[in-house]
């Protein structure tokens, strides 16, 4: 795996199957951008149907350029962040969620996407109180409901982010 590119905003992309899909044993996947065979792949948002892009063509921006594609649907705003926005939407793979990605930000930069979580996983990590307190400040779902029903890959699903600068955990919640 050492020759695969790493992504600042998606450090767990090869172990989380909601980011890169992995070709099944015996299955052959070809990147629509470079034409090379690839074990890991993911699609992008483009006018053309772009379903199979290899990690390298995400990382170097080739697929975004070739297909005029973006990999992320939405992100929280940051200030004076054109370079960071470019890295996020053109050179970072998205992740599967119900209504499309909402990439969280903190310390005026995008957070790293850690993975999908429910209340159980947050409690196991010992960060449930911290994460729900932060979540409550945003005007989205009722925090009590979220705490009761949030389930990893469930119909109310959680997506955990961590600030690259101060280490704060933040939660995005999406429902079917
Ligand atoms: Zn490629
Ligand atoms: Zn921060």
Ligand at minimal distance from the CA of 110 is 2
pLDDT tens, position by position, 110-137: 999 999 999 999 999 999 999 999 999 9
- As a whole number of angstroms, the distance between CA 125 and CA 57 comes to 33
Contact between residue 67 and residue 43 where contact means Cβ atoms under 8 Å apart: no
Q: Which residues have C-beta within 8 Å of that of residue 112, sequence separation ≥ 6?
A: 8, 9, 10, 11, 161, 162, 163, 164
- As a whole number of angstroms, the distance between CA 35 and CA 54 comes to 9
Residue 163 CA to ligand 2 center (angstroms) comes to: 5
Residue 77 CA to ligand 2 center (angstroms) comes to: 14
Residue 167 CA to ligand 2 center (angstroms) comes to: 6
Residue 109 CA to ligand 2 center (angstroms) comes to: 8
Tokens 């992740």 identify what position? 95
Ligand at minimal distance from the CA of 31 is 1
Query: What is the chain's mean pLDDT, rounded?
Result: 95
pLDDT tens, position by position, 67-116: 999 999 999 999 999 999 999 999 999 999 998 899 999 999 999 999 99
Ligand at minimal distance from the CA of 39 is 1
Contact between residue 52 and residue 41 where contact means Cβ atoms under 8 Å apart: yes
Q: State mean pLDDT over 35-42.
A: 96
Residue 2 has pLDDT above 80, yes or no: no
Where are the domains positioned within the chain?
A: 1-71, 97-176
Ligand at minimal distance from the CA of 112 is 2
Residue 110 CA to ligand 2 center (angstroms) comes to: 9
Q: Which of 67-71, 138-142, 148-152 has the lowest mean pLDDT?
A: 138-142
Question: What confidence score (pLDDT) does residue 140 get?
Answer: 87
Residue 127 CA to ligand 2 center (angstroms) comes to: 15
- Angle, vertex CA 107, rays to CA 106 and CA 113, nearest 5: 35
Ligand at minimal distance from the CA of 166 is 2
- As a whole number of angstroms, the distance between CA 154 and CA 37 comes to 32
Question: What confidence score (pLDDT) does residue 1 get?
Answer: 46
Residue 36 CA to ligand 1 center (angstroms) comes to: 6
Ligand at minimal distance from the CA of 58 is 1
- As a whole number of angstroms, the distance between CA 29 and CA 15 comes to 18
């Amino acid at each position: 795996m050492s020759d695969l590119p790493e992504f600042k905003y998606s450090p767990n992309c090869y172990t989380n199957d909601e980011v890169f899909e992995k070709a099944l044993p015996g299955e052959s996947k070809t990147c629509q951008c470079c034409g090379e065979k690839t074990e890991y792949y993911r699609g992008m948002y483009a006018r053309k149907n772009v379903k199979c892009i290899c990690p390298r063509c995400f990382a170097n921006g080739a697929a975004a350029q070739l297909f005029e594609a973006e990999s992320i649907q939405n992100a929280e705003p940051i200030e004076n962040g054109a370079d960071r926005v470019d890295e996020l939407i053109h050179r970072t793979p998205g992740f599967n969620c119900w209504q499309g990605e909402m990439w969280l930000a903190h310390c005026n930069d995008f957070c790293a996407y850690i993975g999908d979580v429910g209340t159980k996983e947050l409690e196991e990590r010992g960060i449930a109180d911290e994460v729900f307190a932060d979540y409550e400040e945003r005007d989205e779902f009722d925090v009590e409901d979220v705490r009761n029903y949030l389930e990893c890959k469930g119909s109310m699903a959680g997506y955990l982010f961590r600030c690259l600068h101060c280490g704060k955990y933040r939660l995005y919640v999406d429902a079917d």
